[in-house]
Structure 1
Amino acid sequence: MAPNMRQGISPFLEPGPRTKANSLAILQLSRDNFLPVHLQHATGEHDGYAEGVVVNTRFGSFPHSTMIGVPWGSQIRASKVDTGSRGRKRKRVPGDDAARDENENENGNESAEPTDTPSGPKQAIAASSGFVHVLPPTPEIWTTSLPHRTQVVYTPDYSYILHRIRARPGAVIIEAGAGSGSFSHASARAVYNGYPKEGERKGKVISFEYHEERYKKMKEELSQHGLQGIVHLTHRDVYKGGFLINDGESPEAEAVFLDLPAPWDALPALSRQRPEGAEGATESGKPWVSPLNPKKNAYICTFSPCIEQVTKTVSAMRRLGWVDIDMVEIANRKLHTARDRVGLNLPQDRGVNNSARDVEEAISKLAEIEEKFRQHARPARSAENTGSKHGDNGKAVSNRKGAREEETSTSSRPWADGRLIVRGEPEIKTHTSYLVFAILPREWSEEDEAEALAKYPLGQEKAVVGDMDKASRKKLRQELLKKQGDKKTKRKEKAEKLDEKMDETSG
Structure 2
Amino acid sequence: MPSPFFTRNTIADKDSLALLQLRRDQIIPTILRDHDDENQGYWEGKVTNTRFGSFPHSTLIGQPWGTQVGASKVDTGSRGRKSTKRKAEELDAATTPSGEEDANKKPLLRAPVAADSGFLHILAPTPEAWTISLPHRTQVVYTPDYSYILHRLRARPGCTVIEAGAGSGSFTHAAARAVFNGYPEAEQAAKRQRLGKVCSYEFHEQRVGKVQQELRDHGLDGMVEATHRDVYEDGFLLGDPITGKSPKANAIFLDLPAPWLALKHLVRNPPDGRESALDPESPAYLCTFSPCLEQAERTIRTMRQLSWLNISMVEVAQRRLDVKRDRVGLDTEGVRGATTFPKTVEEAVAKLRSDEERAKLIRDHRQTKDEPNYQPIVKETPFYKEKSNVPLYAQGRLTHRSEPDLRTHTSYLVFAILPRSWSEEDEQKCRKQWPSAQISKTDNEPPLSKKQMKKQAAIERAKLKEAEKQKTEQAQSESGDKTEAKVEEQTSEA
What TM-score results when the alignment is normalised by the length of structure 2? Answer: 0.78
Q: What is the CA-CA distance between 1:343 and the residue it aligns to?
A: 2.9
Q: Counterparts of 1:98 and 1:165 in 2: how far apart (Å)?
A: 67
Residue equivalent to 1:209 = 202
TM-superposition CA deviations, 1:16-38 (whole Å, max 9, x none): 21101001111111221111111
2:331 to 335, 342, 345: 345
Q: Residues 45 and 51 of structure 1 are in contact (CA less than 8 Å); yes or no, is this contact kept in structure 2?
A: no
Distance 1:377 1:227, change over 3 A: same
**In 2, Cα distance between equivalents of 1:84 and 1:44:** 18
1:129 equivalent in structure 2: 117
The residue number in structure 2 matching 1:222 is: 215
Q: Deviations over 1:162-208 (max 9, x none)?
A: 01001111111111111111100000011112112344421111111
CA distance in 1, matches of 2:408, 2:120: 31
CA shift in 2, pair 1:405/1:99, >3 Å: closer
Q: Equivalent of 1:171, from 156, 159, 174?
A: 159
Q: Answer with 314-323 or 259-268: which moved more.
A: 259-268
Paired position in structure 2 for 1:328: 314
The 1:366–1:293 alpha-carbon spacing in structure 2 relative to 1, beyond 3 Å, is same
Q: Provide the C-alpha distance between the structure 2 equivalents of 1:273 and 1:25, rounded to a whole number of angstroms.
A: 45
Q: Name the structure 2 match of 1:263.
A: 259
- Tell me by how many angstroms 1:136 deviates: 1.0
- Alpha-carbon distance in 1 for matches of 2:18, 2:306: 45
Paired AA for residue 257 in structure 1: F
- Pick from 431, 438, 441: which aligns with 1:453? 431
Whether the 8 Å CA contact 1:171–1:202 is kept in 2: the answer is yes
Structure 1 residues 420-499: aligned runs within 5 Å: 420-426=398-404, 431-457=409-435, 459-460=437-438, 484-485=459-460
Deviation, 1:122, is 0.4
Displacement after TM superposition at 1:121 (Å)? 0.7
1:101–1:25: structure 2 CA closer, same or farther, 3 Å change rule?
closer
Q: Distance in 2 between matches of 1:304 and 1:118?
A: 52
Is the contact between residue 71 and residue 115 of structure 2 (CA under 8 Å) also seen in structure 1? yes
Identify the residue that residue 407 of structure 1 maps to in structure 2. 387
Q: d(CA) in 1 for partners of 2:200 and 2:387?
A: 64
Matches of 1:406 and 1:242 in 2, distance apart? 74
Shift of 1:482: 6.5
The equivalent residue for 1:89 is 83
SS of residue paired to 2:330: coil
Deviations 1:341-361 (A, max 9, x none): 133232323321223345554
1:144 aligns with 2:155: no
Shift of residue 133, structure 1, vs aligned partner: 1.0
Query: Which amino acid counterpart does residue 136 of structure 2 have in structure 1?
Result: H
Specify the SS of the correspondent of 2:387: helix
Counterpart residue type for residue 179 of structure 1: G
Deviations 1:377-410 (A, max 9, x none): 33648xxxxx9xxx9xx97x72x53x764523xx
Deviation, 1:88, is 6.3
Q: Are residues 14 and 379 of structure 1, via their aligned partners in 2, closer, same or farther at CA, if it must alter by over 3 Å?
A: same
Equivalent AA in structure 1 for residue 56 of structure 2 = P
Report the residue type matching 2:11 in the other structure: R
Q: Distance in 1 between matches of 2:21 and 2:109?
A: 25
8 Å contact kept, 1:192–1:202: yes
Residues 25 and 134, structure 1, Cα contact 8 Å, conserved in 2: yes
Q: 2:330 touches 2:384 (CA, 8 Å); kept in 1?
A: no
Q: Percent identity?
A: 52
Aligned to 1:493: none
Task: Give the C-alpha shift of residue 461 in structure 1.
Answer: 5.7
CA positional deviation for 1:294: 1.4
- Whether 1:63 aligns to 2:56 is yes
User: Residues 36 and 46 of structure 2 are in contact (CA less than 8 Å); yes or no, is this contact kept in structure 1?
Assistant: no
Residue in 2 aligned with 1:467? none
Shift of 1:47: 2.2
| Counterpart contact for 2:280–2:421, Cα < 8 Å | yes
For 2:182, what is the secondary structure of its paired residue?
coil
Q: Supply the RMSD in Å over aligned alpha carbons.
A: 3.3
Structure-2 separation of matches of 1:144 and 1:308:
30
**Residue of structure 1 in register with 2:235 after alignment:** 242
How many Å separate the matches in 2 of 1:10 and 1:222? Answer: 9
Amino acid paired to 1:439: I
Match of 1:33 in 2: 26
Structure 1: which amino acid aligns with 2:279? N
Q: C-alpha displacement at 1:428, in angstroms?
A: 5.6
Q: CA separation of 1:379/1:224 partners in 2, compared to 1, >3 Å: closer, same or farther? A: closer
Q: How many angstroms apart in 2 are the aligned matches of 1:82 and 1:146?
A: 28
Cα contact 2:202–2:228 (8 A) shared by 1: yes
Indicate how the Cα distance of structure 1 residues 341 and 12 shifts in structure 2: closer, same or farther if over 3 A, else same: same
Equivalent-residue separation in structure 2 for 1:262 and 1:414 (angstroms): 55
Q: Residues of 1 paired with 2:69 and 2:255: CA distance? A: 39
- The equivalent position to 2:341 in structure 1, one of 337, 355, 361, is 355
CA shift digits 1:419-459 (9 cap, x unpaired): 11101135766643211000011111122101121123354
Residue matched to 2:292: 306
Question: For residues 358 and 77 of structure 2, what CA distance do their matches in structure 1 show?
Answer: 54
Secondary structure of the corresponding residue to residue 345 of structure 1: helix
Q: Does residue 296 of the first structure (1) align with residue 282 of the second (2)?
A: yes
Relative distance call for 1:459 and 1:11 in structure 2 (3 A) is closer
Q: Partner amino acid for 1:154?
A: Y
Q: Give the distance between the partners of 1:47 and 1:448, measured in 2 at CA.
A: 65
Consecutive unaligned residues in structure 2, runs of 5 or more: 368-372, 441-454, 465-494
What residue ranges of structure 1 are gaps of 5+ in the alignment? 1-6, 103-108, 282-287, 382-386, 463-479, 490-507
Moved more, 42-51 or 236-245: 42-51
Q: Check conservation: 1:172, 1:253, Cα contact below 8 A.
A: yes
Residue among 176, 184, 203 paired with 1:188? 176
Change over 3 Å in CA distance of 1:315–1:72 after alignment to 2: same
Q: TM-score, normalised by structure 1?
A: 0.76
Residues 453 and 406 from structure 1, CA distance in 2 versus in 1: closer, same or farther, beyond 3 angstroms?
Answer: same
